[in-house]
């Protein structure tokens, strides 16, 4: 019985030792697990802090880029609008100049037409009212040649040329001094261009 008792005590002792060893290992494992858990929690915390910071940095960069693009777009739009307004003013000025020039040319043409009409009227009156013995002689000679059935083209042509020369001479003598008019055509570089 004593041998059995010794065996039981030894077994209990061994069991207690094994239990203590197991408890020690278990405590070490629990401690290690707690450390691992703390490390994971710390890493997770750092990740949660770093990820939003990275997101915020990216977001801030994007906002800055968007603001820069908007600023450049506005500058380009303002520049384009300014150039367009300048070209529009140049175009309107050119159109006004052409309109004024046309009106002035029309006035000049009308004045010349009136002058020529007065000269024609004056020449016709002079031809009708002024009769010289030479003219009467020529007209009677023309009438006689027509009465005789002959055509004296040479005399008729001479009379026409003489009348035209007289009319030209009178126009030259009575022509008013002409004023010089300058037409300014802007260079092609001032014509508005539009780019797309």
pLDDT tens per residue across span 97-152: 999 999 999 999 999 998 888 888 777 777 766 554 444 445 554 455 444 444 55
Going from N- to C-terminal start, the domains of the chain cover: 2-143+154-164
- Cα separation of 196 and 181, whole Å? 39
- Those residues with Cβ within 8 angstroms of residue 87's Cβ, 6 or more apart along the chain or in another chain: 192, 193
Phi and psi angles of residue 184, each rounded to the nearest 5 degrees, phi first: -100, 120
Distance CA 89, CA 101 (A): 18
Distance (Å) of CA 40 to CA 26, 43, 51: 20, 5, 16
Angle between helices 2-129 and 153-174 (to 10 degrees): 120
Q: How far is CA 115 from CA 14, 107, 120, 127, in A?
A: 148, 12, 9, 18
pTM of the model: 0.32
For 132, phi and psi rounded to 5 degrees? Answer: -110, 160
The string of pLDDT tens digits covering residues 142-182 is: 455 444 444 555 566 677 777 777 777 766 665 555 556 67
């Amino acid at each position: 019985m004593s041998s059995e008792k010794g065996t039981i005590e030894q077994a209990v002792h061994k069991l207690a030792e094994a239990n203590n060893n197991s408890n020690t290992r278990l405590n070490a494992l629990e401690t290690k697990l707690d450390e691992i858990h703390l490390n994971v929690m710390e890493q997770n915390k750092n990740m949660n802090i770093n990820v939003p910071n990275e997101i915020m940095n990216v977001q801030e960069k994007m906002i800055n880029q968007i603001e820069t693009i908007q600023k450049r777009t506005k500058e380009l739009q303002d520049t384009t609008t300014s150039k367009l307004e300048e070209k529009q003013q140049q175009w309107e000025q050119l159109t006004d100049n052409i309109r004024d020039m046309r009106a002035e040319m029309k006035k000049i043409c009308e004045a010349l037409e009136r002058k020529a009409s007065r000269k024609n009227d004056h020449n016709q009156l002079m031809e009708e009212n002024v009769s010289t013995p030479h003219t009467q002689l020529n007209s009677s000679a023309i009438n006689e040649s027509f009465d005789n059935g002959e055509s004296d083209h040479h005399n008729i042509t001479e009379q026409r040329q003489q009348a035209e020369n007289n009319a030209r001479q009178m126009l030259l003598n009575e022509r008013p001094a002409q004023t010089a008019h300058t037409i300014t055509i802007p260079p092609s570089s001032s014509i508005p261009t539009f780019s797309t």
